[in-house]
A and B are shown apart, each in its own frame.
Chain A
Amino acid sequence: MPSWIEINGLQKSMDDFQLGPISLAIEPGTITALVGNNGSGKSTLLKLVMNLANADAGSIEVFGKPVDGKDESWKRKLAFQPQKIIGWDAYTGTTLKKMISSFYEKWDEALFERIVRLFDIPLDKRFGKLSEGMQQKLSLALALPRNTDVLILDEPTAFLDIPSKRYFMDLLIDWMEAEERAIIIASHQTDDLRKLADYLFVMREGKAIGHYEKETLLESYRRYWLDETPDGSVPGEVSRDRQRIVSADPAAAEHYFAVENIRIIDHAALDLEEIIDMLLK
């Protein structure tokens, strides 16, 4: 099946920041998390996908259509929730719903009402008067029911409290299961990534570090407690703290320990947060 979103050799420079070259394909039925430190270019990448800025080089195609082409119909297949919502302040939730729902054929009114009840969102208050958390809840309530093929979320849980985050995860999982869809989510929240993501696209200072399948990534890092400190470099060695070594190539590392007669006292998988930390260093 062809990719729904295809990014090839994308580059964009702004002042002293250079994004790319970035290549990434989004397949149907997947959740891809964009991971990176602040200023790594995640939001810029998402805005380029939404054609809110012009690329210096490379291309972005959504459902086979170049985003900077004359045909803008591809936007009906995408729902975008930016990190900072601009232009909504003067409107109430009811007005925003009236405006936004009209653009999407598959708008799910029942889901909208369910989310509004779940998060207890006041629809009669102006968006600008709501707290940041409530703004984020309303914007989610206005994003999911669009039922587009692709949902793009930029830091969707940054201002949510813990129970709301849990509800949000459940909503997203239900949303994904309903039809063949795809989600791109930029997030700093490891919980989001651990529970939701199928793939991680890791970025550092505008550059792509790698595109990983989450389970494969989790299996590819291992921490070893050894009975002695190895003299040489261990295959895939990522960090070393005396007899404690982390390797990104466990099979080769274990072979090395066997050859060098180094006994493994214990070993354990790393959690996702640690792996991301290492990738971003």
Chain B
Amino acid sequence: MHTWKQAYWLAGFELKARMKRSLLMLAFYTAVGFVCISSFDVYLTENFYAFDLLFLLLFIMFPAWMKPKIFQMQKMDGDLWTVPAVIMLQQLPVPKAVIVKSRFIIHSVYSFPYQLILLVMLLAVSPAFREMITPLSYMAFLIIWLAVSVAAGFAMAASEAGGTYDTKLLAKSMIYLVLGIAIFYAAFQWLADEGLIYWTIGLAQNWPLMSIVVSLLIIYAGWNYWQRVMKKDIEKADYL
């Protein structure tokens, strides 16, 4: 518990340091989210597949992009990539577990409020969605997407440990990542014959309680797994 308390305290410094700018970015990304979500009815009625990718982007990448640049992952000396705070805190008597937790708290602040705003907005702007979903199903849908955020989006938080990456290798990894997502997405469309969001609405409608339980388990597992990954990566990395 003391570790979490210390992590909250440390995270507070970074969150307060650029509060105004962070709120502006939240407003900007919410506006972007609103523009995207306003076309949700089109997705529901005409199966507009690109919307799934957009939604994934909003849930996985946007929180990382919302952070002020000064606190984002950046190239240091040589091929070292990391978040400056990870180096700064390691030079102080801060245990690695606290560093990891403070990064997760910060990522949570940039993730969950924004994602909740998007999900509430979805209910507000899409009459078709409102008609489809009951309060319990909506709750299940919301938790499913928070699980996506933790299971996939918190990989971004864990990656803040950084390390030494050759630029060529980094470019290759990005290509593989994009290819991987494209293959997953194509396979999903082919197997399920519907979009990812549609599928999650289906899960929430048909098995709301089961979806909530499984999603909560995924949140718990993802939250702990990515923390372990980040701690291991910090231990492995050479911050030279």
Check if A47 sits within 8 Å of B68, measured CB to CB: no
Query: Shortest beta-carbon distance, A40 to chain B, in Å?
Result: 14
Q: Which of B84-105 contact A (CB under 8 A)?
A: 84-96
Q: Give the segment of B24-32, B123-131, B138-146, B232-240 that binds chain A.
A: B232-240
Does A86 sit at the interface, judged by CB under 8 A? yes
Check if B17 sits within 8 Å of A90, measured CB to CB: yes
Check if B88 sits within 8 Å of A88, measured CB to CB: yes
Query: Shortest beta-carbon distance, A145 to chain B, in Å?
Result: 14
Check if A91 sits within 8 Å of B17, measured CB to CB: yes
Check if A89 sits within 8 Å of B91, measured CB to CB: no
Check if B92 sits within 8 Å of A75, measured CB to CB: yes
Task: Given the known inter-chain contacts A87-B87, A100-B92, please indicate yes or no for A47 contacting B239, CB distance below 8 A.
Answer: yes
Check if B87 sits within 8 Å of A52, measured CB to CB: yes
Check if B91 sits within 8 Å of A44, measured CB to CB: no
Closest to B71 in A: A90
Check if B238 sits within 8 Å of A53, measured CB to CB: yes
In the bound assembly, the distance between CA atoms of A52 and B24 in angstroms comes to 35
Check if B96 sits within 8 Å of A86, measured CB to CB: no
Check if B93 sits within 8 Å of A103, measured CB to CB: yes
Query: Shortest beta-carbon distance, B108 to chain A, in Å?
Result: 19
Closest to B16 in A: A95
Check if A72 sits within 8 Å of B95, measured CB to CB: yes
Q: Which of A83-100 contact B (CB under 8 A)?
A: 84, 86-91, 95, 99-100
**Given B78, B87, B235, B238, which contacts A86 in the complex, CB threshold below 8 Å?**
B87
Query: Shortest beta-carbon distance, B167 to chain A, in Å?
Result: 14
Query: Shortest beta-carbon distance, B32 to chain A, in Å?
Result: 25
Check if A95 sits within 8 Å of B96, measured CB to CB: no
In the bound assembly, the distance between CA atoms of A207 and B88 in angstroms comes to 28
Q: Can you give 26 contacting A-B residue pairs, CB < 8 Å?
A: A15-B78, A44-B240, A47-B239, A47-B240, A52-B240, A53-B237, A53-B238, A53-B239, A53-B240, A54-B238, A72-B93, A73-B93, A82-B91, A86-B76, A86-B87, A88-B88, A89-B84, A90-B17, A90-B68, A91-B13, A91-B17, A95-B13, A100-B92, A103-B92, A103-B93, A103-B94
